[in-house]
């Protein structure tokens, strides 16, 4: 089965004023790249694709916190529907990975919550992450899972950035391919802000300045 990604063109941005944006973030955004409703539609189909490919076997879904918390919740819900005829259960696990400061990858990746990983030994794991940019985070995580003794891994990504990867990683299920822009919303942050914003947006220069750490 071929998986078709929803490709967002380079210049595609909808006016922020056309959407319901929390007051605290008004002025901090310059455009909506993917409205929340579109994410929901796409996640529904992605869950069907995942189920068609993986089929009726026990599967562990691994949520890579914090960025994928919204995507994970939506995907688990849709997968539960898609798997209604399955006899093998699905389990959920959580791990925290940190690599970004301001708008760039620090190159250092911290994986937290490792003690839980032993529970994944011998299992088939679907790694659910928010976005692939340089590919470093996912590559490091997949290596760690292999070392832990995980039997099989797939990756499900909300977003895949149209950039040359520093490290090549398998992207098995991708909801959207997006241009090389720093984006926030639907779980993705800028110095911990904007995770609660529903739509996936591009920040305005004043928003970037306002929440800068350095
Ligand atoms: P990578 O290791 O460069 O592939 O980056 C992966 C991680 O960096 C993601 O899981 C995100 O947490 C974060 N990240 C990458 N691009 C963005 C972005 O545009 N906005 C917010 N976070 C991002
Ligand atoms: Mg992440």
Global pTM value: 0.94
Which residue bears the tokens 């003690």?
115
CB of 124 closer than 8 Å to CB of 93: no
For residues 107 and 100, what is the distance between their CA atoms, to the nearest angstrom?
A: 8
Per-residue confidence (pLDDT) for residue 16, from 0 to 100: 97
CB of 6 closer than 8 Å to CB of 175: yes
Q: How far is the CA of 185 from the centre of ligand 2 (A)?
A: 13
Average pLDDT, the chain: 93
CA atoms within 13 A on the CB side of 30: 12
Q: Of all atoms in ligand 1, which is nearest to the CA of residue 66?
A: 12
Fold of 6-211: Rossmann fold (3.40.50)
- For the chain, which residues make up each domain, given as ranges? 6-211
For ligand 1, mutation pick of 99, 112, 174 (most atoms within 8 Å of CB): 99
Strand order in the sheet with 183-184: 29-34, 200-203, 183-184
Confidence of residue 175 (pLDDT cuts 50, 70, 90): very high
For residues 43 and 105, what is the distance between their CA atoms, to the nearest angstrom?
A: 26
Confidence of residue 174 (pLDDT cuts 50, 70, 90): very high
Q: Does 182 contact ligand 1 (Cβ within 6 A)?
A: yes
Q: Which ligand is nearest to the CA of 97?
A: 2
For residues 212 and 176, what is the distance between their CA atoms, to the nearest angstrom?
A: 27
Per-residue confidence (pLDDT) for residue 114, from 0 to 100: 59
């Amino acid at each position: 089965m071929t998986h078709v990604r929803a490709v967002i063109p380079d210049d595609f941005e909808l006016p922020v004023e056309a959407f319901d944006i929390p007051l605290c973030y008004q002025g901090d955004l310059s455009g909506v790249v993917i409205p929340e409703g579109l994410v929901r539609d796409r996640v529904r189909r992605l869950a069907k694709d995942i189920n068609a490919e993986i089929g009726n076997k026990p599967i562990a879904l691994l949520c890579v916190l914090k960025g994928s918390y919204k995507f994970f919740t939506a995907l688990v819900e849709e997968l539960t529907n898609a798997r209604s005829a399955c006899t093998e259960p699905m389990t959920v696990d959580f791990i925290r990975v940190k690599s970004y400061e301001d708008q760039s990858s620090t190159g250092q990746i911290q994986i937290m919550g490792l003690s839980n990983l032993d529970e994944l030994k011998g299992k088939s794991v679907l790694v659910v992450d928010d976005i692939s940019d340089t590919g470093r985070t996912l590559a490091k995580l997949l290596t760690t899972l292999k070392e832990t003794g995980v039997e099989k891994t797939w990756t499900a990504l909300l977003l895949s950035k149209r950039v040359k990867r520093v490290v090549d990683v398998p992207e098995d299920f991708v909801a959207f391919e997006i241009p090389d822009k720093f984006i926030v919303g639907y779980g993705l942050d800028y110095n911990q802000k904007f995770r609660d914003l529903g739509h996936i947006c591009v920040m305005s220069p004043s928003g970037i300045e306002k929440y800068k750490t350095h």
